[in-house]
Chains A and B, each alone.
Chain A
């Protein structure tokens, strides 16, 4: 099922050079992400993964080329249109970026802020939300399995739980695209798996586009429909997990990541030396 509002995300010859830098962070990147796809962006540190996400969220502007959500060019967004774009893009961060001193419920309700109108908008300034908004928050928390923690202060939760609260916040926000920047990099393996499963499950349930940077290739293989491999700002791999061969990984990371591939390489080098 595809979300009725998820846009096609089109990158056309995107290049991003930060001011004062000579080497561009993204080089001539083109790709079209269909509505509802779960896309993993992999690559070494500094390959441009985070920059790509920041350009998509319009936290950064591209230097040349265009990024479009359906027909909307992100570079043209200003003021209210920019805020509307932010409301439609859900962000998940490595460090969760929740308001740590507030109770869990409030962090989920923060996801509702852009949806409030009239009196409810003003009431929210006093952290007051009506019963229907709270009911939505409860259901979103239930969806990530944390409804028993609603009233707890957010910083009393473990990292994995906090990231699931962040997912519940996204559910409350009703975005059309979710951008996740290293969502599991600060979590241990089993919590990381649980968060990835949760993210994948809710993405499939609502058919929403998810673009996640991941440095664990295994997570990308297990949960993504499509993998983009970045190397020094260039797109060097674009395909489904099944095509992510050892050779493709070598192209992206510049080294063999799996043990069999490493063994095969050393054997090959041995044969070369013998001949």
Chain B
């Protein structure tokens, strides 16, 4: 786990308006994202299950959600490249998997996606809609979101616990040295 460190001096001194301004872009992005999820039908578990039910009364409408989202994002990226805009680093979530040797050979990427897909198919909720649905205060929505966050934290802290237990059972001495610390993935 990371050591607790004080916030950098400049952000502390800047405070107020600068911090608010810096939060404005992610806040607006989250707000528009939630409206898009709601309008598209992704926040209705029954509709998601209908989309995944290819052998039953298949509801293909959610395919247009991904089509619209990817089409828009992809075209904007193409436009920016064509105009020669300098772009932020390409920090796609699969970058660590690509660095480990490609997707098809990456058991963590494929295994994780498969587990996620099973959970998605069981409840009809994925992380974005699950967060948005908590505003309904429905017990089921809150329960799902709490379990999801617990799962995320469990994945992060399980290796730490594993190292501790193994360190305690093994020879006496310092617990897991710094270089042996569990790898943190996908954070900057």
Partners in one complex: no
- Chain B interface residues toward A at CB < 8 A: none
- Chain A interface residues toward B at CB < 8 A: none
